[in-house]
Structure 1
Amino acid sequence: MSNATDTGSDNDRIGPLSDLRVLELGNIVAGPFASSMLADLGADVVKIERPGDGDSIRSSGESGDAIFNALNRNKRSIAIDLKDEDDLAALYDLVDAADVFIENLGRGTPERLGIGYQTLREQNSELIYLSIKGFQEGPYGDYAGMDVVAEAMSGLMSVTGEASRQPVRVGTSIADMGAAIYGVFGVMIALREREQTGEGQRVDGTLFESAAHWMGYWQTYADKYGRDPEPLGASHPSWGLYDVFELNGGWLFVGVTNNRHWDAFCEAADLSELRDDERFKTAADRRTNKDELLTIVQERLRDDDRSTLFKRLTEANVPAAPVNQPSDLINDPGLEAANLLARFQSNNDVKDELQTVLTPVSGERFSPAQYRNPPSIGEHSEEVLAEWTERTLNAPTTDQNSEPQ
């Protein structure tokens, strides 16, 4: 095991989950994203990494470096060689003190390494074990899982992009993140049940089934009408004026979903003559003549100033939005007002301060927080082992021979 200089105090953790101890053996996005949500709400998250290499995303270029920094804030890192008996024994000591264990390794890998659910459950019967995989067990269970595989098989990719062009993935790791979110939802349910039974359990989070859940209403559509939807681009077949338009200054989305929106849009965009056009009188008319409507609106708006029209539309309460770049969200006033901008120091000192978005979950008496920089590999090995072992030694005595209910 290795260790390095610390970058934050564990006493800085705040939030409703500050008494929760989480071990994360995650790589790339799904596992780290799951534990990052818990960490933002105060959980003590310890990231288990391979000595020397660590999370494989660390060495995956510029985007990989950004992913690591964004998803591994608020965590401590411990370097453990799972093929070393002493290191594996040290991990079991940590499991004794843990509430939650998270992994997104390939199917069968945790069992081969001696950290599968059944093994760790024997170590700690109260442990909640979140296993994130590409697919639930079944006919697809042994397929290699990754984000784009789930997007493709769920049908999500088929409706993303433009008609007559090749299917495209969503521009972020949406299925990975979906599996993580559903997984954490399951963890919270399991923790609630543990309060009643005293027993932990395995929780599954899977990429394909998560993406398929989001495609549920399109599945119903295909089942009812006997045809599949075409790729949507930025549009939607339920409404006639629901798309992005090129203006002076960039692209602007406009979403007219009812007659009030339509009247207000025509007024704000100086297109009042369209309001009296028989082709566009009703929502049904606008759907029927959608192509004509979009062509007319695009031609009329092309030379308008995007900022000016956006202001007029928002003042008229018409759904509209500039198509931002990620850089536009740096110091975004809306995220700032919501206290959701996390500012932290890069783990490799490329830049003094970086930004990302905190987990957007808050309540009357709780909110997420940024309190620790992303760790170096094994940065907290010694302190975590000392702290968590002490917790185990000082924990109330339980009957280890009792059978699960």
Structure 2
Amino acid sequence: MGTDTNDSQPLADVTVLELGNIVAGPFASVMLADLGAEVVKVERPGSGDVLRSAGEAGPPMFDALNRNKRSIELDLKSDAGREAFLDLADRADVVVENLGPGVADRLGIGYDELSERNSELVYLSIKGFLDGPYGDRAGMDVVAEAMSGLMSMTGEPGRKPVRVGTSIADMGAAMYGVMGVLVALRERERTGEGRRVDGPLFEAVASWMGYWITYADRYGRDHPSLGASHPTWALYDVFRVGDQDDWLFLGVTTERHWPALCRAIDREDLLADERFDTSQSRLDHKAELTETVAEELRDRDRESVLAALLAEDVPAAPVNDPSDLVDDDHLDAVDLLAEFDSAEDGQSLQTVMTPVHGDGIAPAQRLDPPELGEHTEEILRTAGLDDDAIAALRNRGAFGSE
């Protein structure tokens, strides 16, 4: 289905058809693409992925999630468009879709239909819920965050619940889905048969909330929302340092960290304070300790405090904005910054690639995000169609109305 592969990458011999929209499906397939898979993004004629035109945030989200892919326009509600899709699916290793519940089956492109034609196909279906009491509900990121308990644990105690600052449920479902795809591809080597795998939003986030679910089961009550703190350790929070918008995280999680912190902030006198003598006593006097350290740091320079903490091996980090990661030295040094030209206007941009690394395993940026339908004819020719066959599909409405 294409020639833009990197033969040195582990998934270079895998072809993927993506019926993805917004975050979950595209994130799953971009992970596969970063590791060498050839991904063909199937988009609705004339409009494509919703993110292409979703206000200010849409285009950069589209670019970040749809690098390393090619785009084909197909009207899957037309007979010709569906036939073209089925021909491509016959040659694919993986299909990724995050359409609404039942939509793929109604279009005649669900797993049962495709697997009858291509028994080796691995089919990833990303939905809000697995098939159960909630299975027919429409799923979206914030629904999963709310229902899983994540939202209630996020934010400051006593204030309204808030969502995480990225599409964490969509991405979690995609990650579990890709794990399932890789397992299914491995199983295919043994059995010769593909299979369907699921990527559920709600269950993905519920699994991450596992220890808080166990906590509630043990004590018969929920833990309050955490802000940036943690109930296990007394000094584990973010502190304003210097300027109004400069924040620093630091964590004292071992007995070694406490004297190291006191040395770093020139307050070794605190070591003689019995309230802070042990991990338990610090936890018993958490409010006093947090306020003491907050007062000490408030008028200092963040960079010098951070340097002193890191020199003493105290866990600490600046609270960065996303803009701080543009041209980040570390991400650049480990070859995880992808540079590409935007599909919207050709502007040169950056994002972070899939961080799967190991001996002979690394992501790579190969293709710019595609313009809508940019590779339609190229993809069909690679699938064996000549100009006359492509023209016939066009005349039958496979690519939408002119």
Identify whether the pair has TM-score above 0.5, normalized to the shorter chain: yes
CA distance in 1, matches of 2:25, 2:157: 34
Task: Work out the CA distance in 1 between the residues paired with 2:318 and 2:115.
Answer: 50
- CA distance in 2 between counterparts of 1:388 and 1:219 reads 49
Could you tell me which of 164, 182, 187 is aligned with 1:188? 182
CA contact (8 A) 1:93 1:389 kept: no
Q: Compute the TM-score of the two structures, normalised by the length of structure 2.
A: 0.93
Answer yes or no: is 1:48 the counterpart of 2:10.
no
In 1: Cα distance, 2:364 partner to 2:15 partner: 17
Structure 1 counterpart of 2:281: 285
Listed as ranges, the gaps of 5+ residues in structure 2 are 386-402
**2:321 aligned with 1:325:** yes
Separation of aligned partners in 2, 1:174 and 1:333? 25
Q: Which residue of 1 aligns with 2:108?
A: 114
Tell whether the 8 Å contact from 1:22 to 1:102 is kept in structure 2 after alignment.
Answer: yes
- 1:346–1:374 CA contact under 8 A, matched in 2: yes
> Which amino acid is 2:154 matched to?
T
Q: Give the counterpart of 1:170 among 156, 164, 180.
A: 164
Partner secondary structure for residue 259 of structure 1: coil
**Conserved 8 A contact 2:6-2:12:** no
Task: Identify the residue that residue 363 of structure 1 maps to in structure 2.
Answer: 358
In structure 1, the residue corresponding to 2:57 is in which secondary structure?
helix
1:372 matched residue in structure 2? 367
RMSD, matched Cα: 1.2
Structure 1: which 4+ aligned runs deviate by more than 4 Å? 11-14
Give 1:152's aligned residue: 146
Q: Deviations along 1:197-228, whole A, 9 cap, x unmatched?
A: 11111000000000000000001111112221
Q: Deviations over 1:129-184 (max 9, x none)?
A: 00000000110001110000000000000110000100000000000000000000
Deviations 1:339-387 (A, max 9, x none): 0000000112262x10000000011112000011000111111111121
Tell me, which stretches of 5 or more residues in structure 1 are unaligned? 1-7, 391-405
Which of 4, 18, 41 is 1:24 aligned to? 18
For the Cα contact (< 8 Å) 2:90–2:117, is it kept in 1?
Answer: yes
Partner Cα separation in structure 1 for residue 5 and residue 123 of structure 2 = 26
What is the aligned partner in structure 1 of residue 231 from structure 2? 237
Q: Secondary structure at the match of 2:237?
A: strand
How much has 1:317 moved relative to structure 2?
A: 0.7
Question: Percent same amino acid among aligned pairs?
Answer: 63
Kept in 1: contact 2:96–2:125 (CA 8 A): yes
Deviations along 1:40-91, whole A, 9 cap, x unmatched? Answer: 0010000000010000111111111111000000000010000111111111
Partners in 1 of 2:41 and 2:346 — Cα distance?
22
Instruction: Specify the alignment match of 2:251 in structure 1.
Output: 255
**CA deviation after TM superposition for structure 1 residue 11, in Å:** 4.9
Find the residue that maps to 2:146 and give its secondary structure.
helix
**Correspondences of 1:316-355 after superposition (within 5 Å):** 316-349=312-345, 351=347, 353-355=348-350
CA distance in 2 between partners of 1:350 and 1:201 (Å): 39
The one-character-per-residue Cα deviations of 1:13-36 (angstroms, maximum 9, x if unpaired) are 751101100000000000000000
Aligned residues, how many?
A: 382
Structure 1 length normalisation: TM-score?
Answer: 0.93
Report if the CA contact (8 A) 1:9-1:372 is conserved: no
Deviations 1:306-339 (A, max 9, x none): 0001011111111000000000001101101110
Task: State which of 194, 199, 207 in structure 2 corresponds to 1:205.
Answer: 199
Residue equivalent to 1:99: 93
| Aligned amino acid, residue 17 of structure 2 | L
